[in-house]
Structure 1
């Protein structure tokens, strides 16, 4: 009896320890989404079977009407802000619909075409539909416009705590040209250099521009870095999604230890059958080499506690599972 009780105590203790490690991991991903919710209201010309975002075909000279339904689940009246953003590719190579970066384009601006009221008030425990109308130009269009409707709760400024962080929603908006033949894809290379990525980390940053109104999905990116002896010191392969008429800086994460000197960078991008290549020789100064070395050390130090924490969690989980099995057999 004593042995069984001891095992019960051990199980409780171990399970409690496991939960101590597990709860912060779960809490990190929690969001207060119960306060309000949003859903798109589609136009009559919404693409069939697309139900999670706006997908509209360009109709020369015609007017479209789309909307957003905001449901306020709280006990108080709330105000919400609505903005239209151009979809951008961020430094991680994924699409960002919340970017407030100014829209640079030689043609149609989705941020000017689709405009919602900037602020709306929704009464407590009610839903409100907000609409906007926009008219397509008379000319045909063979490209793709991509943006997002960004909705967030408007918070009052608090002098002691600052602005409170709130959950925001982004509903993607895609307008497809009425001419199915898209422009020939064109990628332009900009600067390629060693740059500071964060406070302590450095990367090889390359600026890329998708010149045309094409959405380039799953673009393969291959990079090789060679030293003066033509030895490959770093390689990276990745995949990115590049939004239409977008310029972004894409980092190549450096794994090797670098000394000062010349390095030859070879870059190849591939989308379908099209390939774009760029090669450049860059010079790494003594100071930059020193900073890269410190960056490499800090990455190792920062990663050690995370690895140890995960390892400890796994060990405790296995022990707890084994003791629970023993308890059931008794």
Structure 2
């Protein structure tokens, strides 16, 4: 009996160990570390004298009318080979998760942005080549020709390893790119705050397919030269003349770049999209203010057909189902182990009796 108990306890501990979440976490940590290591380089902004807050690691510069200066970003090549890096300056945009990004080249600039950072900050060279285990620098020129602006102009210098293309056996090209961003915030008065909460607007509604999912995208616009911080955004969709919510979504803490829009997406789910007139209703709020949105939109028969045909069906199991599957698997293994053990033990006894 004692041997049987010890056997069952040991087997239980073994399978509990195999299913511990720490193992998955460790694998994720290793994956992240490996990605960072594969980048093979790091960068550091060289903070100039007109930095508003010298404790910040990104550029936060006060620039006056007719201003011109050169800023530099150090690049450290941590590989045993000479590397070439591409230098790009990009305006700040806001992605669908409510995160400010500096490497989005596809989303068009918002109509409220009259003076993008790309008109003011330009790299002196589009590429920089650095020997193995060495450091170099990217130089950028800031030039404001008799121009004035209010608020903050936000962007970043994006530095990435130049794409390396390798021919596969089928003649296709494969490319990998790793990059870092050093933020650039420009103000004309050192007292100007980067953050604000003047106004949010609903620009338009787009029914569409995004990465295989049927979504309704509501473009929440920040039309002013200030960054929104920690905004909760909620939204839902109903059929016109109905109170039943067909789909809904919430972002708990969004940041919205100056003069940009947040593509707030509500996943339609696995149900087919039917043509008709719908209502989007939403609200954005921070600690001080709130903005309510409501807009009617129509999904035509053509758009509904395209969305249904282009969407990829996804089956997402709830967390309780995954946990129940693990418990059942462990229980099954324990029972099988016990039955095997009992059979072996019984066979030994029968052999001794003979």
TM tier, smaller: 0.7 to 0.9
RMSD over aligned CA atoms reads: 4.2
2:59 and 2:185 in contact (8 A); partners too: yes
More displaced, 79-88 or 110-119?
A: 110-119
Consecutive unaligned residues in structure 2, runs of 5 or more: 334-354
Greater shift, 246-255 or 91-100, is seen at 246-255
The corresponding residue for 1:210 is 222
Q: Deviations over 1:276-308 (max 9, x none)?
A: 443233345678778989999933x24469963
In the aligned structure 2, how far is the partner of 1:137 from the partner of 1:38? 29
Q: Does residue 167 in structure 1 map to residue 178 in structure 2?
A: yes
TM-score by length of 1: 0.75
Query: Which of 34, 37, 40 is the aligned partner of 1:33?
Result: 37
**Of 158, 164, 169, the match for 1:150:** 158
- Counterpart residue number, 1:246: 260
- Aligned positions, number: 315
Equivalent of residue 296 in structure 2, options 281, 284, 287: 281
Q: Is 2:126 aligned against 1:113? A: no
Normalising to structure 2: TM-score of the pair?
0.71
Match for 1:195 among 205, 208, 220?
Answer: 208
Q: 1:185 to 1:74 in 2, by over 3 A?
A: same
Residue number in structure 2 paired with 1:323: none
TM-fit CA distance, 1:53: 1.3
Structure 2: how far apart are the matches of 1:303 and 1:165? 32
Q: 1:237 to 1:155 in 2, by over 3 A?
A: closer
Q: Residue 41 of structure 1: CA displacement?
A: 0.8
Q: CA deviation at 1:72?
A: 1.1
Q: Secondary structure at the match of 1:308?
A: helix
Partners of 1:70 and 1:9 in 2: CA distance? 52
Paired with 1:308 and 1:212, the residues of 2 have a C-alpha distance of 45
Residues 80-103 of structure 1: per-residue CA shift (max 9 Å, x gap)? 111111110012221111112465
Shift, 1:246, TM fit: 1.6
